Structure 1
Amino acid sequence: MLPEPTGTHPDTAGSLVRYLAFFRAEVRRKLDGLEPDALRTTVLPSGWTPLELLSHLVHMERRWFVWGFLGEPLPDPWGDQGPDGRWSTTDSLLARLEAGAVRTESVLREHPLDARAALGGRFDADPPTLHTIGFHVLQEYARHAGHLDVVRELVDGAVGEDASA
């Protein structure tokens, strides 16, 4: 288990990198040990399955950092709104999550946080700063890790940090 980042870090970009890594590890830990049927079945009123939440995180991170901040074209930036999360495997989605993490970390380390996102990708006007994008993605991870906390509690009774294999 990756420990939650602690202390005071004057390096905001480094803090974002560490907290994103922490929440990605939490998501992996919450998924670990769920049976295949539980990964593809919803227990949430929203209808999300654990694999659909994972697919959403994979696509969301690419949407904000690659298509959004860098302005690079993506073949399917909204792919999490299709069947990807239902038909992908946990391993393939986790591999894509890790590849996205490498890309995100390079963006956060190579660009100033006050830099504005490129126009022409996700944004046509008034692009947000990298700082805003980083914190938006961080809150998405935290929120969906919380959803997975609820899933584990409902599926097997594991709560909080006890929900691991």
Structure 2
Amino acid sequence: MTDRTPLPLDGPGVKVGDPRELLLGYLDWYREALRRKLAGLTDAQLRAPVEPFGWSPIGLVQHLGWVEKRWLRWGFAAADVVAYPAGGDAEEWAIDAPTDEVWSAYEEQVRQGKAAIGDAGLQTVAKTGGRFPTEADAPPLGRILFHLLQEYARHVGQLDLLRELIDGTTGE
């Protein structure tokens, strides 16, 4: 006989049905999952590129900081920020700073991104002049949050594979 007890749902509370609350709740859940999946790795393990991926776990954290900045601050809020490092993708994933500084920079981008959203509704269209040059190019906040959610889901899933290659730990 097998146990038919349903597994608890991930993300926001089981009774959450509001689309905005769901998107923001799942983004927070994936941001926390990023930390969970990297917990217990040494600094050397966090910084070493993993083959066949070619990037390090902390490099992914740095990349996601840039993603947060591009989509929420430069994208939604049209803030005048540097959206891409001068060295392109190679620099975005390369780690030159200490690990704790990479985490701090990531957390600051999350904080500033949340501030850029504020209490805007999902139908609020991104400001123009940043990532989106015209109103015709500018998506609503819901579209931006959905993009961020899929970006996190993909990368956090990749961390399951990375972690298993590094030390055999498997994800949920």
Cα offset, 1:44, TM superposition: 3.6
Correspondence for 1:60: 67
- Alignment gaps of 5+ in structure 2: 1-9
Cα offset, 1:27, TM superposition: 0.7
Structure 1 SS opposite 2:26: helix
1:86 matched to 2:85 = no
Cα offset, 1:17, TM superposition: 1.8
Distance in 1 between residues matched to 2:107 and 2:44, nearest whole Å: 24
Cα offset, 1:98, TM superposition: 2.3
1:71 matched to 2:71 = no
Q: Deviations over 1:76-127 (max 9, x none)?
A: 2113731674112322222222223333334444111111111110111311
Q: 1:159 aligns with which of 144, 148, 170?
A: 170
Q: Deviations over 1:4-44 (max 9, x none)?
A: 32424232222122111111111111222212222222224
Cα offset, 1:47, TM superposition: 1.3
Q: Quick check: 1:56–1:85 contact (8 Å CA) kept in 2? A: no
- Tell me which of the two structures has the higher relative contact order, counting C-alpha pairs closer than 8 angstroms and 6 or more residues apart: 1
Q: Quick check: 2:58–2:95 contact (8 Å CA) kept in 1? A: yes
Distance in 1 between residues matched to 2:49 and 2:149, nearest whole Å: 24
Give me the TM-score of the superposition, normalised by structure 1: 0.85
Cα offset, 1:145, TM superposition: 0.6
Q: Deviations over 1:40-99 (max 9, x none)?
A: 22224231211211111001011100000000011x211373167411232222222222
Larger Rg: 2
1:108–1:12 distance in 2 versus 1, CA, 3 Å: farther
1:8–1:68 distance in 2 versus 1, CA, 3 Å: same
Q: Quick check: 1:51–1:85 contact (8 Å CA) kept in 2? A: no
Correspondence for 2:149: 138
Correspondence for 2:30: 23
1:134–1:150 distance in 2 versus 1, CA, 3 Å: same
Q: Aligned AA for 1:139?
A: Q
Correspondence for 1:118: 127
Q: 2:140 aligns with which of 129, 154, 160?
A: 129
Q: 1:49 aligns with which of 56, 59, 66?
A: 56
Q: Quick check: 1:62–1:77 contact (8 Å CA) kept in 2? A: yes
Kindly, what percent of the aligned residue pairs are identical? 38
Structure 1 SS opposite 2:29: helix
Distance in 1 between residues matched to 2:57 and 2:121, nearest whole Å: 34
Distance in 2 between residues matched to 1:118 and 1:83, nearest whole Å: 25
